Amino acid sequence: MTATWTPTTFDPHDPTFLADPYPVYAQFRELAPVSMVLPYRSYWAFGYDDCVRILTETDVFVKNPPGGRTAAPPPFSAIGELPQGIFASDPPRHDTLRGLVEPVFDAAIADAANIAASVSAELLGAATASSSWLEVVSDYALPLPAHVLFRLLGIDPGFPVLTQWIAAIEAAHDITSSPTTQAMGATMDMAINTLLEATVLTLQQTPDPSTIIGRLVAATSPDGLSPMDVRVACQDFVIAGYLSTTYLLSTGIRSLIRNPDQAALLRASPELIPGAVEEMLRYDAPFQIVDRFAARPTELSGVSLDVGDAVSAIVGSANRDGARFADADEFVATRTDNPHLGFGDGIHHCIGAPLARLVAPVAVGALLALGPMTIRGIPQWHTDPYLRGCTSLLVSRP
């Protein structure tokens, strides 16, 4: 730790920070546990207890700013005119919508592990047939969870441009991206909405209870879930439903390669892999930052917040807080006391977490079965500090 460090020197887009944010998080937790980060005009909270408060005290910390959000300029203002989905809404709409959608989603993903096993075998077979090298992200961590989710939703996994649309939306989330990139992201957001509108209309004419969208369409009623509710809920699933697993696999495999004793333990005892996935979520959380707004005056670690102030739970830092986790900076595959915030907490706990917990252990187990691996070159990271995942991770087998 450097004696001259101050919060005002912090650049959340510094490539060194993006490659390894955890030493900086530790400095914040010690010296400035709640700090204004000017590029985002938000108070970032770095300690575990503060983050839990932000995520669970839904009467104090809300998804939407009191008084409403500033409308985007046309034509992108059309997106803001759509009803809010589960990810963006506050109670009571959030609770009503989630109560209708979540049981259908949970029932529809029962076969996810079997689908993941089949897709995993196909991808690894193709990637390793003629080479001992594997590009973990493009060859495996990206296509596997995307294929599983799209198949469960009832969208053709081979739809040629859908993952490219989602990548454009992902890129636009970075506030340093160009206006062109941000416009492209908004355009692709509308394209996905149009695709889902057509899918819902088709399923209204030709029901299909074997898919998530089909089940949700079948569950619509005049006084319950509307077709528009189905569209916005499924748009949330499509855009964010598999990327958390993609990031989790890329960073999780990297962690195992860097901790060969833990990888060997899991190869010898595969039944430990689900617990190891939880440790991956703690150690290198796929989503590092969760945003809220203060609904009333409050205080976090001595910092006063007024109504409407933006505040962000830095869950990546909270998961490394030594005040809550023993040996917080160590990757321990058999960790049992592990109330991590990798999927958030409270009423907004990630609705897709059950799917990730079905798919990720299968994916990790299949990669471990290939034997020890070595990282080649320098892993590349997302430029958006909200996202913690490799964009490129090249490995080789003996």
Q: Residue 383 is which amino acid?
A: T
What are the CA-CA distances from residue 41 to residues 26, 54, 309 (Å)?
Answer: 21, 17, 9
Average confidence (pLDDT) per 10 residues, the chain, 398 residues: 63 95 96 95 98 98 88 68 85 93 94 97 91 93 94 84 89 92 91 92 93 95 91 88 92 97 98 98 97 98 97 98 98 97 96 95 97 95 95 92
Six token digits for residue 343: 């999927």
Residue 111 lies in a domain: yes
Give the pLDDT of residue 79.
67
Give the pLDDT of residue 2.
44
Residue 231 lies in a domain: yes
Residue 185 lies in a domain: yes
Q: How many domains does the chain have?
A: 1
* Maximum distance among all Cα pairs of the chain, rounded to whole angstroms: 67
The verdict on whether omega for the bond into residue 354 sits within 30 degrees of 0, i.e. cis, is: no
Nearest to 367 by CA among 120, 130, 113: 120
Q: On the CB side of 82, how many CA atoms lie within 13 Å of its CA?
A: 22
Give the pLDDT of residue 180.
94
3-state secondary structure of 174: coil
Give the pLDDT of residue 159.
73
Residue 2 lies in a domain: no
Give the pLDDT of residue 77.
67
Cβ count near 74 (within 10 Å): 7
Residue 384 lies in a domain: yes
Place of tokens 């860097």: 258
Residue 355 lies in a domain: yes
Stated pTM of the model: 0.94
Residue 135 lies in a domain: yes
Show the domain range for 86. Answer: 7-396
Give the pLDDT of residue 78.
65
CATH (domain of 370): 1.10.630.10
Q: Residue 2 is which amino acid?
A: T
Six token digits for residue 304: 């006063």
Residue 200 lies in a domain: yes
